[in-house]
Structure 1
Amino acid sequence: MKRKAAMLMSLCCVGIHVYSQSSSKDSVKMVNLQEVVISTRATSKTPVAFTNVSKKQLEKQNFGQDIPFLLTATPSVLTTSDAGSGVGYTGIRVRGTDATRINITTNGIPMNDAESHAIYWVNTPDLASSLEDLQIQRGAGTSTNGSGAFGASINMKTQGIPSKAYGEFSGSYGSFNTHKETFKVGSGLINNHWAFDARISNIQSDGYRDRASSDLKSYFAQAGYYGENSSIKFITFGGKEETYHAWDGISRERLKTDRRYNPNGKIKDGKVEMGFYDNQLDHYKQTHYQLLFNHSFSSAWNMNVALHYTDGNGYYEEYKNDRTLKEYSLLSYIIDGINYDKSNLIRRKHVDSGFGGGIFSFNYKNNRLDGSIGGGLNHYKNDHYGQVIWVKNYIGYLAPDHEYYRNKGEKLDGNIYAKANYELTKGFNLYADLQYRSINYQIKGNNDKWDWSAEPERPQLLDIDKDFNFFNPKAGVFWQINPNNNVYASFAVAQKEPTRNNYTDGLFDKHPKAEKLFDYELGYTYRNSCFTAGINLYYMDYKDQLVLNGNLNDIGEPMAENVKDSYRMGVELTAGVKLTDYLRWDVNATWSKNRIKNYTEYLSDYSDKGSELYTQTERYLGDTPIAFSPSFMAGSLINFELSGWSASFQSQYVSRQYLDNAGDKENSLDAYFVNHLHAGYTFKIRHVKSITVGASVYNLFNTKYETNGYSQTAAVYQTDSNGNPTNNWRVSNDPCFYPMAGTNVLFNLTLRF
Structure 2
Amino acid sequence: MSKLISILMVALFVLSSDLSAGIFEGRIIGRDGEPIEGVNIHTNISSLYAKSDHDGKFSLDTGDEQIAHMTFSHVSFQPYMMQIKVGMSTTDLLITLDPAVYPGQKIRVTAMRAKVGQTPVAFSDFTDEDIERDYTVADFPILLETTPNMYAFSYTGGAAGASDYKIRGFDSKRIGTYINGIPLNDPEDRFTYFYDLADFAAEVEDIQVQRGVGNSLYGDATFGGSINIASSGLNRDRRISVSTGYGRYYCNGDYVSEMRKQAVEFSSGLIEGRWSLAGRYSKMYSGGFREHAWYDGWAYFLSLSRLDPNMTTIVNVYGGPMKAHLAFNGIDRATENANRRANWSDYDNEIDDFNQPHYELHNTYKLNEKMTLKNTLYYIRGKGYYEQYKSDRDIVEYNISTESLVDENMAEIDLVRQKWVAKNQYGWNPTLEYDHERGTAFLGGAFYYFDSEHWGQVIWAENVSDNLDPRHRYYEYFGKKISASVYAMDYYSLTERLKLMGNLQFRFLRYEFDQTPLGALPGHDYDINWTFLSPRAGITYLPTENSDVHLSFAVASREPADVSIYDAEEITAFPNLAIEDYDVTPGGDTVYSFGDPLVDPERVYNFELGGNIRSDRYRAGLNLFWMEFKNEIIPEGDLDDDGQPRLGNADRSMHAGIEFDGSFVPHRYLTVSGNISYNYNRLKDYTIYKDTDWDGVADDTVDYSDNTTPLFPEYIGNLMFDFKKAPFRLTYRLRAVGKQYTENGQIDDLAIGDYMVSAISGSISLGKFAGLGRLTLSARVDNLFNAKYELSGYAYEWDGVWYGEYYPAAERNFYAQIKWEFE
TM-score range, shorter chain: 0.7 to 0.9
The equivalences for 1:342-361 within 5 A come to: 342-361=412-431
Q: Does 1:397 align with 2:467?
A: yes
Residue 181 of structure 2 aligns with an amino acid whose one-letter code is G
- Asked whether the equivalents of residues 300 and 318 of structure 2 are also in contact (C-alpha less than 8 Å), the reply is yes
Percent identity of the aligned residues?
29
Q: Does 1:547 align with 2:620?
A: no
Partner of 2:115: 43
Q: Deviations over 1:514-539 (max 9, x none)?
A: 11111000001111111211110000
Following superposition, the deviation at residue 687 of structure 1 comes to: 3.9
Partner of 1:655: 738
Distance 1:634 1:163, change over 3 A: closer
Among candidates 542, 554, 572, match of residue 659 of structure 2: 572
Higher relative contact order (CA 8 A, sep 6+): 1
Residue 255 of structure 1 aligns with an amino acid whose one-letter code is E
Following superposition, the deviation at residue 51 of structure 1 comes to: 0.5
Q: Does 1:227 align with 2:308?
A: yes
Residue 386 of structure 1 aligns with an amino acid whose one-letter code is G
Following superposition, the deviation at residue 614 of structure 1 comes to: 9.9
Partner of 2:218: 145
- Distance in 1 (alpha carbons) for counterparts of 2:787 and 2:517: 42
- Distance in 2 (alpha carbons) for counterparts of 1:665 and 1:675: 26
- Asked whether the equivalents of residues 161 and 197 of structure 1 are also in contact (C-alpha less than 8 Å), the reply is no
Partner of 1:706: 790
Among candidates 577, 588, 591, match of residue 678 of structure 2: 591
- Asked whether the equivalents of residues 535 and 573 of structure 1 are also in contact (C-alpha less than 8 Å), the reply is yes
SS of match in other structure, 1:115: coil
- Distance in 2 (alpha carbons) for counterparts of 1:96 and 1:464: 33
Following superposition, the deviation at residue 708 of structure 1 comes to: 1.6
The equivalences for 1:194-209 within 5 A come to: 194-209=275-290
Partner of 2:15: none
| Bigger shift: residues 388-397 or 206-215 | 388-397
Residue 752 of structure 1 aligns with an amino acid whose one-letter code is E
Following superposition, the deviation at residue 60 of structure 1 comes to: 1.2
The equivalences for 1:58-73 within 5 A come to: 58-73=131-146
- Distance in 1 (alpha carbons) for counterparts of 2:628 and 2:428: 32
Following superposition, the deviation at residue 27 of structure 1 comes to: 4.0
Following superposition, the deviation at residue 447 of structure 1 comes to: 9.1
Distance 1:447 1:205, change over 3 A: farther
Among candidates 518, 540, 555, match of residue 493 of structure 1: 555
Among candidates 28, 31, 34, match of residue 41 of structure 2: 28
Following superposition, the deviation at residue 507 of structure 1 comes to: 5.5
- Distance in 1 (alpha carbons) for counterparts of 2:229 and 2:635: 30
- Distance in 2 (alpha carbons) for counterparts of 1:24 and 1:381: 50
Distance 1:682 1:594, change over 3 A: same
Following superposition, the deviation at residue 477 of structure 1 comes to: 0.5
- Distance in 1 (alpha carbons) for counterparts of 2:154 and 2:128: 23
Residue 667 of structure 1 aligns with an amino acid whose one-letter code is L
The equivalences for 1:596-607 within 5 A come to: 596-602=683-689, 605=692
SS of match in other structure, 2:201: helix
- Asked whether the equivalents of residues 653 and 683 of structure 2 are also in contact (C-alpha less than 8 Å), the reply is yes
- Distance in 2 (alpha carbons) for counterparts of 1:668 and 1:700: 24
- Asked whether the equivalents of residues 39 and 108 of structure 1 are also in contact (C-alpha less than 8 Å), the reply is no
- Asked whether the equivalents of residues 604 and 715 of structure 1 are also in contact (C-alpha less than 8 Å), the reply is no
SS of match in other structure, 1:218: strand
Q: TM-score, normalised by structure 1?
A: 0.88
| Bigger shift: residues 559-568 or 30-39 | 30-39
The equivalences for 1:454-473 within 5 A come to: 458-459=520-521, 461-473=523-535
- Distance in 1 (alpha carbons) for counterparts of 2:794 and 2:697: 20
Q: Structure 2: where are the runs of 5+ without partners?
A: 1-30, 43-69, 73-78, 81-99, 101-107, 249-256, 568-572, 578-597
SS of match in other structure, 1:93: strand
- Asked whether the equivalents of residues 123 and 239 of structure 1 are also in contact (C-alpha less than 8 Å), the reply is yes
Residue 748 of structure 1 aligns with an amino acid whose one-letter code is Q
Distance 1:80 1:550, change over 3 A: closer
Q: Deviations over 1:36-67 (max 9, x none)?
A: 84322111110000011111111112211111
- Asked whether the equivalents of residues 549 and 602 of structure 1 are also in contact (C-alpha less than 8 Å), the reply is no
The equivalences for 1:159-178 within 5 A come to: 159-162=232-235, 164-175=237-248, 176-178=257-259
Distance 1:338 1:475, change over 3 A: closer
SS of match in other structure, 1:60: helix
Q: Does 1:508 align with 2:554?
A: no
- Distance in 2 (alpha carbons) for counterparts of 1:749 and 1:64: 13
Distance 1:103 1:552, change over 3 A: closer
Q: TM-score, normalised by structure 2?
A: 0.81
The equivalences for 1:99-178 within 5 A come to: 99-162=172-235, 164-175=237-248, 176-178=257-259
Following superposition, the deviation at residue 508 of structure 1 comes to: 3.0
SS of match in other structure, 2:542: strand
Residue 459 of structure 1 aligns with an amino acid whose one-letter code is L
Distance 1:201 1:221, change over 3 A: same
Among candidates 436, 445, 451, match of residue 515 of structure 2: 445
- Distance in 2 (alpha carbons) for counterparts of 1:752 and 1:648: 22
Partner of 1:625: 708
- Asked whether the equivalents of residues 66 and 122 of structure 1 are also in contact (C-alpha less than 8 Å), the reply is yes
Distance 1:602 1:659, change over 3 A: farther
Residue 530 of structure 2 aligns with an amino acid whose one-letter code is F
Partner of 1:560: 647
- Distance in 2 (alpha carbons) for counterparts of 1:634 and 1:378: 39
The equivalences for 1:378-393 within 5 A come to: 378-393=448-463
- Asked whether the equivalents of residues 411 and 442 of structure 1 are also in contact (C-alpha less than 8 Å), the reply is yes
- Distance in 1 (alpha carbons) for counterparts of 2:377 and 2:651: 39
Among candidates 345, 355, 366, match of residue 264 of structure 1: 345
| Bigger shift: residues 256-265 or 188-197 | 188-197
Following superposition, the deviation at residue 461 of structure 1 comes to: 4.3
Q: Deviations over 1:44-96 (max 9, x none)?
A: 11000001111111111221111111111110011111111021111111111
- Asked whether the equivalents of residues 638 and 797 of structure 2 are also in contact (C-alpha less than 8 Å), the reply is no
- Asked whether the equivalents of residues 502 and 559 of structure 1 are also in contact (C-alpha less than 8 Å), the reply is no
Partner of 1:744: 813
- Asked whether the equivalents of residues 565 and 576 of structure 2 are also in contact (C-alpha less than 8 Å), the reply is no
Following superposition, the deviation at residue 393 of structure 1 comes to: 3.1
Partner of 1:371: 441
Structure having the higher strand fraction is: 1
- Distance in 2 (alpha carbons) for counterparts of 1:248 and 1:682: 42
- Distance in 1 (alpha carbons) for counterparts of 2:238 and 2:273: 13
Following superposition, the deviation at residue 603 of structure 1 comes to: 5.2
Following superposition, the deviation at residue 104 of structure 1 comes to: 0.8
Following superposition, the deviation at residue 332 of structure 1 comes to: 3.1
Among candidates 605, 608, 619, match of residue 518 of structure 1: 605
Distance 1:550 1:363, change over 3 A: same
- Distance in 2 (alpha carbons) for counterparts of 1:502 and 1:672: 34
Distance 1:660 1:25, change over 3 A: farther
The equivalences for 1:268-347 within 5 A come to: 277-332=347-402, 339-347=409-417
- Asked whether the equivalents of residues 219 and 445 of structure 2 are also in contact (C-alpha less than 8 Å), the reply is no
Q: Deviations over 1:553-591 (max 9, x none)?
A: 9xxx98534322111010001121101001111111111
- Distance in 2 (alpha carbons) for counterparts of 1:491 and 1:241: 41
Following superposition, the deviation at residue 331 of structure 1 comes to: 2.1
Residue 520 of structure 2 aligns with an amino acid whose one-letter code is R
Distance 1:633 1:429, change over 3 A: same
Q: Does 1:250 align with 2:331?
A: yes
Q: Deviations over 1:250-289 (max 9, x none)?
A: 1111111101011013xxxxxxxxxxx3211110000000
Following superposition, the deviation at residue 551 of structure 1 comes to: 11
Residue 710 of structure 1 aligns with an amino acid whose one-letter code is Y
